[in-house]
A and B are shown apart, each in its own frame.
Chain A
Amino acid sequence: MSDKKIRITINGLVTHCSAGQTILDAAKQVGVKIPTLCHDDRLEPYGGCRLCVVQVKGVNRPLTACTTPVANNMIVITENEAIHRIRKNMISLLLSNHPNDCMRCEKTGECTLQDLAYKYEVDGTRFAGEKWDLPIREDNPFITFEPNKCILCGRCVRICNEVVMAGTIDITGRGFNSVPDTAFGRPRTLDNCEFCGQCVSTCPTGALTDRKGRGKGRCYEMKKVKTTCAYCGTGCNLYLNVRDEKVVKVTSDYDAIVNKGNLCIKGRYGYDFIHSQDRIKTPLIKKDGKFHEATWDEALNLVANKFKQLIADHGAESVGAFSSARCSNEENYLLQKWVRCAIGSNNVDNCARV
């Protein structure tokens, strides 16, 4: 795959691709931006929104860049008068069945539809007609679904089926009334849904939002702190969204090598402990049957002395370590190294038993 033998020209720029790459991939390679709504690198090409249409020389109709594989000596123009008109009309059509309520919308500022409407200078007035009037769904603790803002890009459905493999949602109904939903429109519960929030994270509009973060601030008011999830050894990267010194939401880091923006329920929604009143913030030492706050030096000294005592009385083999699956590989490595070298014992184990 590494041999890039296919030569392709995009807006006059030449680049080389390997078989299987799409026009969209090639455009990214040369830094040409093509608008997309239904595309997500993690998902199978879908071709639903038709926004990424481009003109390929010698083909009498525009082709979708996200689904069309490159071919040798292909010459592509990513925007001309007809393409521009088509894109404008596609966005107009979407806005004709949309609340167009950006002022109150949770997604404002990071909404792909909003950005495209701005870029292509369209509003929702060109086509008047029937609009969806479906109730907002808040039937579970984590995910808010506002169907009226859904543009049916199918990304939520595909990520749930292709990446999470949970099969919680699919597109239901037909034609104008199609809508992504669970079977029989039942609430998401732990019986049918992982609550990984993957669907929320890929949604390009305000249709799916994190319920816990709603109303806690605009995206541009957030300080985004990149960090590693504390829950397991996978070590997913994520962004803590911090406002007024409080973590109010977790969002994905799509460029992370480890997880490509994917998170599970713990990483995405399990952040309440951070500001919990019950959280233990210092080491505790038990005296007379009661825990007392202590410094790290006190605690470490106590443990070190007890280990020494044990080794002196019963030998090094009497000491072992049991590590956690929530630690990273590096941490697990360090622990066993320490047991073997510092303690002199081979008694090392880990809770990960699958």
Chain B
Amino acid sequence: MADKKKTKKGQGAKSSPVTGKKAGQGVKAQTAKAGKSVPEKAVKSKKTSVDKAPEKALTIRVCVGTGGLAAGSQGVIDAFYRELSARGISAAIEKKCVTKTGCRGFCARDVIVDVILDGEPSTYQYMKADRVPRVVQEHIMGGEPVEEWLAGEDYHNFHFGQTKILLRHCGQIDPEDINAYINVGGYKAAKKALTWKPSEIIEEVKASGLRGRGGGGFLTGLKWEFCKMSKGSPKYIICNADEGGPGAFMDRAIIEGNPHSVIEGLIIGALAISAETGYVFTRAEYTVAVERLKKAIEQARANNFLGKNIFGSNVDFDIEIKHGAGAFVCGESTALMRSIEGKRGMPRPTPPNSVNKGLWNKPTVLNNVETLSNIAAIISRGSEWYASYGNENSRGTKVFALSGKVKNIGLIEVPLGISLKEIIYDIGGGIEKNRKLKAVQTGGPLGGCIPATHIDMPVDFESLTRIGSMMGSGSMVVMDDTTCMVDVARFFMAFTVNETCGKCIPCRVGTKRVHEILTRITEGQGREGDIDLLLEIGTDIKLASLCGLGRSAPNPLISTINFFRDEYEAHIKEGRCPAGVCKALRQYLVDVASCKMCGKCARVCPTGAVVWQTRQKAFIDKSKCVKCGACYDACPFKSII
């Protein structure tokens, strides 16, 4: 009976020219923007022809963050609509039965879908459109979740270990609907702040201990106070959403998942410093985030939260979006402001600081996305509550992007002061394939590498700087023992060489030369004295550079020399790469002791250089070997050295 119905309705849906067209659009929207889920209409149009209604309350939440969209969430949404309407469920379900949500952090498992049936939530991971029919059939119709596709224990551990203030609504509410934000208490803080004096707002933010999440860690309340005190008008407030470091995507996730929290933060900041214009400087590549932000700003204007006489007060405030042109250095405050002014994005020396002479030479506050998105919660719930998270000098929570050789990759929010160990093992689930942890690189491409021996250290601004790294953007790259630290330093230096603006000598030429020397070492051309030369020039780049980029760029270099000097020496003096990463340093010899005679190397060698017979150890004929590395990768026992 059910089968018959399914076929019938299914055909009906397919043959409908409307549905067919809409589905096509949905697919296209995946890559461009989180387009409107048009099938909603398709569901409605079926209303009349469908009579059967399920009695159960049903909500399906589908992640449409960039990670989710890339994994095909629009297709999943379309499939749900198709399947539900085909089964006649659409008649009674509320319009918003399938909701779109922002990123909830565990992008590696995308598409993540919550099916909440009668208040009973189940979370599916790795959802695909073709899995939807079975979920609808067995779970929604039959009441039995599809066990094998459900997220397992590690998914819950990943979330259990976290403390969510910023991300609490990300992945829960529809980011494209201002009412969803208002329903969870949104914009109450802005209204409250309107009844306060600017100095009261500043005092509250100061008391919370909130420090800038853009990397510098400057006290946000104090920055606002300096700007407020500064003579000159008009004043500006800018949200830094340039997030250019590879591996960092927390700001994107916040804007995609909860754009109104950023707008509310900007409103409150503007009230504190008496600014009437705000800017959001964002990467043009963040298409989904920009679209959502645009929508959110329009909705806020429609509600009179932005524009003239906001919230019916006598205060005006509006926000404009500015697109970056793809330069990492434009995340730096002075370069960012020059870029908004239409000039070449190059930092300028300070003083004067931006709070005195910023955008168009007027007093300006620049705050990071995450910083601003904390503000509403601080105003609503009080500084004392906020300061109860974190440790003495680093209050509150911070979002980190956990990546590398860790089992659970994704965005996490934890109280500052938590140890690296808790992050990697409790939330991250430990190292992939249970290998040995070697180091963690924090703070983005300009951060230092922290060795496994320091894994108990607290993650806060001061501790990270002290050990030669930094908070930076908040990315964390976990490295295991298959990582070569010289190669890591070379890799990150290559990033700086590409991103330096070229203004000052140490950063423009210095990083180039450091990169060349590191490349030489990884290619087996290291020389006596290279380490000292690298340390000397690295130190001078740090000391002499104009802006934060050059001043931090040597961190990966200096920290790896400090903690892994033996690896540098092995490369230079012994011509050996202990991790076996640097191809030029491989000797292409078979380690007879560990060779298990499997012959995999012989099978992959393209030149027939590997001599092997059943139950015999392999041997490499040097005269035929072209050092392609195929045998090295194929050997399951790491017996090729």
Residues of B within 8 A of A67 (CB): 349
Best-buried of B327, B508, B509 by chain A (most CB within 10 Å) = B509
Determine whether B512 belongs to the interface, using a CB cutoff of 8 Å to chain A. yes
Give CA–CA (A152, B349) in the complex, Å: 16
Tell me the bound Cα distance from A243 to B513 in angstroms: 43
Q: Is the interface of A mostly helix, strand, loop or mixed?
A: loop
Interface residue ranges of B525-565 to A (CB < 8 Å): 536-537, 540, 543-546
How large, as a class, is the contact surface on chain B? 20 to 34
Q: Is the CB of A86 within 8 A of B540?
A: yes
A94 on the B face (CB < 8 A): yes
Say if the beta carbon of B506 comes within 8 Å of chain A: yes
Tell me whether B546 and A47 are in contact (CB under 8 A): yes
Looking at B87-95, B211-219, B495-503, the stretch in contact with chain A turns out to be B495-503
Q: CB distance A90 to B508 under 8 Å?
A: no
Contacts A50-B546, A152-B502, A175-B497; is A170 near B344 (CB within 8 Å)? yes
Interface of B is mostly: helix
Known A96-B513, A176-B500: A152·B544 in contact at CB below 8 Å? no
Q: Does A112 contact B (CB under 8 A)?
A: no
Interface centre among A64, A82, A96, A129 (most CB of B within 10 A): A129
- In A167-206, the 8 Å CB interface with B consists of 170-171, 173-178
A113-153 at interface with B (beta carbon < 8 Å): 127, 129-130, 151-152
Whether a CB of chain A sits under 8 angstroms from the CB of B265 is: no
Task: Indicate if A344 sits at the interface (CB-CB under 8 A).
Answer: no
Answer whether residue A321 sits at the interface, using C-beta atoms and an 8 A cutoff: no
Q: Which residues of A contact B544 (CB under 8 A)?
A: 50, 53, 62, 86, 89-90
Out of A46, A62, A96, A154, name the residue touching B509 (CB < 8 Å). Answer: A96
Expressed in whole angstroms, the minimum distance between the Cβ of B360 and any Cβ of chain A is 15
Q: Which residues of B have CB within 8 Å of A174? A: 327, 498-502
Q: Are B516 and A130 in contact (CB under 8 A)?
A: yes
Interface residues of A in 86-115 (CB under 8 A from B): 86, 89-90, 93-94, 96-97
- Which A residues from 196 to 232 make CB contacts under 8 A with B? none
For residue A126, give the distance in angstroms from its CB to the closest CB of chain B.
8
**A48 contacts chain B at the CB level, 8 A cutoff:** yes
Instruction: Flag if B513 contacts A61 (CB, 8 Å).
Output: no
List residues of chain B with CB within 8 A of the CB of A238.
none
Interface band, chain A:
35 or more
Q: Please tell me if A45 contacts chain B, counting CB pairs below 8 Å.
A: yes
The answer for the CA separation of A296 and B544 in the assembled complex, in Å, is: 65
Q: Are A175 and B348 in contact (CB under 8 A)?
A: no
**Chain B, 487-519, CB within 8 A of any chain A CB:** 497-506, 508-510, 512-513, 516
Q: Per-residue 0/1 for B188-207: is the Cβ within 8 Å of any A Cβ (1 yes, 0 no)?
A: 00000000000000000000
A85 contacts partner chain B, Cβ-Cβ < 8 Å = yes
B interface with A by C-beta (< 8 Å): 327, 344, 346, 348-349, 351, 497-506, 508-510, 512-513, 516, 536-537, 540, 543-546
Partner-B contacts on A (CB < 8 A) = 45-50, 53, 61-62, 64, 67-69, 82, 85-86, 89-90, 93-94, 96-97, 127, 129-130, 151-152, 154, 170-171, 173-178
A96-B513, A174-B499 known, 14 other contacts, Cβ within 8 Å? A48-B504, A49-B505, A53-B544, A62-B544, A67-B349, A85-B540, A86-B540, A89-B510, A90-B506, A90-B544, A127-B509, A175-B502, A176-B500, A178-B501
26 CB contacts below 8 A, A to B, read A47-B348, A62-B543, A82-B543, A86-B540, A86-B543, A89-B537, A90-B544, A93-B513, A94-B505, A94-B509, A97-B509, A130-B512, A152-B508, A170-B344, A171-B344, A174-B327, A174-B498, A174-B499, A174-B500, A175-B500, A175-B512, A176-B497, A176-B502, A176-B508, A176-B512, A178-B508
